[in-house]
Homo-oligomer: A and B are copies of this chain.
Amino acid sequence: MEMGKKYTVAVVGATGAVGTKMLELLQEVNLPIEHVKALASKRSAGKTLAFKDQVLTIEELTADSFEGVDIALFSAGGGISEIFAPEAVKRGAVVIDNTSHFRMVPGIPLVVPEVNPESLKTHQGIIANPNCSTIQMMVALEPLRQAFGLDKIIVSTYQAVSGAGAKAIAELENQVQEYLDGKPLTELTATILPSGGDKKHYPIAFNALPQIDVFGEEGYTLEEWKMINETKKIMGDESIKVAATCVRVPIVNGHSESIYIELKEETTVQAIQEILAKAPGVELVDDPSRQRYPQAIDSIDQKGTFVGRIRRDLDNPKGFHLWVVSDNLLKGAALNSIQIAEKMHELALI
């Protein structure tokens, strides 16, 4: 970037759950920003948003929206990214894409800034932001991989409905109201979850749905495949063994994960705690004697990845268990995208 230049930043999907958080974060970001464009569908065009002391008018997303844009943050679904990300790049913008569309494309960096910032250096215009449930796991495990080597991960998730968008939050709240009004649990109104793109819909209120996204190969859902494949790409090691069971639970915001790891070396709980206590992006919350452990409701609007319940496996001296929680709309989505932009600015890659 030229000395003294200030960026024009576009947010694609500005009215969504993640886009809203992106616009909030852009008000306090560590980047020189000249101008912010809020882009959305035709339906939202013309509405206004407060941004610092300005009023932003939402513009309809078109290819020409990206004229003069330096950084384009996408979070409006894979189909939108597929069409418009190349248009933005063509017009000179760097795209940071929060959808899954480009994540596994060879040559496209998939980045958690605490983990693999160096992969930004080879970017060709598009940088992919990983899946929410993957990001927080990477922040917690990379310091342990660095210290002890990482052989195997088995993760079971407890994922919030906000990961499926603002409409899924409304669906949960409506179902909870229906239950309090006396409607049977199996008859609550469900039109979105477990996956808007799948055929059947089930209530999430007072339930646990072991399906996030649609089913893929081997009986694993695409969400589970994302955690498996993205982990290997971000950590840059195809030999890491990863298994995931992804489950939606009736939580508004904040993903929790029960993670079992097998390291390559033996170590102690204390050594792991000491490493995580000073790891970037990690907040260690681990004191059973005072009932201190990460909780979804405590993670909301927080930027950290909270780690606790660290225990040794009783049978494997290289095995450990952790409980990892983060705000899936922030570090899991909007914040990580913004941090990618900050890191690229710092590395003079924009």
Known: A186-B298, A220-B311, A313-B243. Is A156-B210 also a contact (CB below 8 A)? no
Chain B residues contacting A93 (CB-CB under 8 Å) are none
Q: Is A314 an interface residue (CB 8 A)?
A: yes
A129-165 contact mask (Cβ, 8 Å, vs B): 1 or 0: 0000000000000000000000010101010000000
Nearest-neighbour CB distance to chain B for A342, whole angstroms, equals: 29
Q: Give bound CA distance, A194 to B295, whole Å.
A: 12
In the docked arrangement, what's the CA distance between A290 and B158, Å? 23
A220 to B269, CA, bound (A): 12
Q: Which residue of chain B has its CB nearest to the CB of A203?
A: B297
When distances are taken between beta carbons in the complex, the residues of chain B under 8 Å from A297 are 185-186, 202-203, 206-207
Which chain B positions have C-beta within 8 A of A319?
243
Known contacts A173-B180, A186-B298, A202-B295: does B210 contact A311 (CB below 8 Å)? no
Stretch at the interface among A61-69, A105-113, A250-258, A326-334: A250-258
Q: Are A245 and B321 in contact (CB under 8 A)?
A: yes
Query: Residue A199 at the B interface, CB < 8 A?
Result: yes
- A310 at interface by CB-CB < 8 Å: yes
Cα distance, A242 to B319, chains bound together (Å): 12
A274 interface residue (CB < 8 Å to B): no
In the bound complex, CA of A296 to CA of B158 (Å): 14
Copies of this protein in the assembly total: 2
In the complex where A206-B296, A251-B206, A258-B245 touch, is A215 in contact with B288 (Cβ < 8 A)?
Answer: yes
A293 proximity list for chain B (CB < 8 A) = 210-211
Contacts of A2 in B (CB 8 A): none
Nearest residue in B to A216 (C-beta to C-beta)?
Answer: B288
Contact between B312 and A218, CB atoms less than 8 A apart: yes
| CB of A158 to closest CB in B, whole Å | 5
* Contact partner, A158, options B185, B198, B249, B269, Cβ 8 Å: B249
Q: A218-B314, A297-B185, A315-B152 are in contact. Are A249 and B208 (CB under 8 A)?
A: yes
Complex: chain B residue closest to A251, CB-CB: B206
Report the bound CA distance from A152 to B260 in whole Å.
13
* Cβ-based interface call for A323 (8 A): yes
Q: Smallest CB–CB gap between A35 and chain B, Å? A: 35
Q: Are B291 and A199 in contact (CB under 8 A)?
A: yes
Across the interface, do B310 and A243 meet the contact criterion of CB distance under 8 Å?
Answer: no
* A208 to B157 CA separation, bound complex (whole angstroms): 11
Complex partner residue of A208 from B158, B290, B313, CB under 8 angstroms: B158
Please give me the 7 A-B residue pairs with the lowest Cβ-Cβ distance, nearest first: A241-B315, A156-B258, A156-B156, A215-B288, A185-B297, A219-B311, A245-B258
Residues of A within 8 A of B (CB): 152, 154, 156, 158, 173, 176-177, 179-180, 185-186, 194, 198-200, 202-203, 206-211, 215, 218-220, 228, 241-243, 245, 247, 249-252, 256, 258, 260, 269, 288-291, 293-298, 300, 308-316, 319, 321, 323
- A to B CB contacts below 8 Å, 22 in the list: A152-B315, A158-B249, A176-B180, A186-B297, A194-B291, A200-B290, A202-B295, A202-B297, A206-B296, A208-B249, A209-B295, A210-B258, A210-B293, A211-B291, A211-B293, A219-B310, A241-B315, A241-B316, A242-B314, A245-B323, A247-B258, A258-B258
